[in-house]
Structure 1
Amino acid sequence: MTHLPEHLLNGYRNFMSGRYSAESSRYRTLAKEGQAPSTMVIACCDSRAAPETIFDAGPGELFVVRNVANLIPPYTPDGSHHGTSAALEFAVQVLKVKHIVVMGHGRCGGIGAALNPSAQPLSPGDFIGKWISLLAPAAEAIASNQLMTPTERQTTLERISIRYQLANLRTFPCVTILEEKGRLTLHGAWFDIGTGELWVMDPKTGDFERPALD
């Protein structure tokens, strides 16, 4: 009798005979010496947009935190539970990452929920509506724009949200101090699930551009 779905066990078998076998020495080094990734990625928990896969990262290369719609709440040290803020604090102050990437993606369900707050699954939920309300001002402005198609509104908010999250990152003193000293750099990126295209945000203009791959 097994206590995990069979497809997970099959995947684990493939992992052990494939990637782990090929990189076993690196795993042993990481286990002994600990992790020291230079980059943190804040991404959506959507199963179609895994940063480790998109960036072809090996073990120990990325410190990843994922949540609905890749949001970062503003700095609020109020004694409540803040999972994303805790991960950020750990990455910056303990791991001393040099880069933080906020990565959104196309067809994001959380962004769709922000544009349609009365739709499922927000109505019966205890947490999603409150979480997505972090985007309320931008979502309301975009949702009311009737010159745009639904797809255009969705993509627009996905990208505008990334700029919002970068602004929220800068409300954390540990981020702004290191950024001002040149020891930490913030980045924005947007991944198109359907085409595989990665769009990177220009830090000066806020525009998204496709990087050259050759």
Structure 2
Amino acid sequence: MEKLIRGLIDFRKNKLPGLAPLFKQLAERGQKPDVLFFACADSRVVPNLMVSTDPGDLFVVRSVGNLVAPATASGISVGDVSEASAIEFSLAKLKIRHIVVCGHSRCGAIEAILNGRENYSALPNLKAWLAHGEAAFARLVRSPFIKDDLSAVDRLSQANVLQQLEHIASYANVRTLVDEGAITLHGWWFDVATGDVHVYDRERGGYILLDETEAERVLAGQSAFQHS
């Protein structure tokens, strides 16, 4: 807590003066992000730091395991409606153009899913929430491109990114906009040890290091995720 408080004082004293015009503009004109970014709640994953964005650039949703509960046939989330409401709001009100799901290495939530949820009987909410990641096992079987030299947790984590994109695509408004070419889905995976981000490239069937060359493919729409 001390680090947070001293950090706020440092921000107010040393950084806020330079950002004051931006905050004034955001207050007057509102936010206009073009990306809805789903990330894990893990404290080692910091989306704005990772992608060097300013306030107002990203609409971020963080959850344990970067999980998103899928929709029923009537369009209602089968789990917590928080993630579903963020999807609806960002599409209808913010008119975002991209949705990113970013998983990461050494994810504790994925490790818990891998080891079974029976040990979480004393944590009923967490146990129920982790169930939304169990479909990643089947996704991993269908994803031979995920490298065998990764740890079991990291392999499942990469499969989970793709599974959560499928969950997002289960919402009718998302499917419609994707099919119309109005929005694009992206799968990212952050390596905590190296700081590198790998993006899912559907044409090459795998996760590719996001360097300058791959960045151009992403911007050209060549690495987008296609829902089934």
- Same fold by TM-score, threshold 0.5 exceeded? yes
CA-CA distance at 1:174 after TM superposition: 1.1
Contact 2:39–2:47 at 8 Å: present in 1 too? yes
Q: Distance in 1 between matches of 2:47 and 2:126?
A: 22
The alignment status of 1:82 with 2:78, answered yes or no, reads no
Report how far residue 55 of structure 1 moved. Answer: 0.7
- Uncovered stretches (5+) of structure 2, i.e. residues with no partner: 141-146, 214-228
User: 2:185 is matched by which residue type in structure 1?
Assistant: L
Counterpart Cα distance in 2 of 1:38 and 1:118: 36
Q: How far, CA to CA, are the matches of 2:130 and 2:7 in structure 1?
A: 33
1:187 aligns with 2:186: yes
* CA RMSD after TM alignment: 2.4
The alignment's TM-score, normalised by the length of structure 1, stands at 0.87
Distance 2:138 2:78 in 1: 30
Q: Which runs of 5+ in 1 are unaligned?
A: 143-147
Are 2:175 and 1:159 equivalent residues in the alignment? no
Task: Name the counterpart of 1:145.
Answer: none
CA contact (8 A) 2:70 2:79 kept: no
1:91-110 C-alpha deviation (Å, 9 max, x unpaired): 11111100110000001010
Deviations 1:175-198 (A, max 9, x none): 111111111010000001111111
Counterpart selection for 1:44 from 40, 43, 50: 40
TM-score, normalization: structure 2? 0.82
The aligned amino acid for 1:134 is H
- Write out aligned runs for 1:1-214 (5 A): 5-76=1-72, 77=76, 81-118=80-117, 122-139=120-137, 152-213=151-212
Q: Deviations over 1:69-89 (max 9, x none)?
A: 001111131797511111111
- Taking the aligned partners of 1:78 and 1:209, their CA distance within structure 2 comes to 31
Amino acid paired to 2:133: L
Contact 2:69 2:79 in 1 (8 A): no
Change (3 A) 1:209 1:20: same
Do 2:178 and 2:184's aligned partners in 1 also have CA atoms closer than 8 Å?
yes
Q: Is contact 1:117-1:129 (8 Å) kept?
A: no
Q: Structure 1 residue 135: deviation in Å?
A: 2.2
Query: 2 CA distance for matches of 1:33 and 1:58?
Result: 15
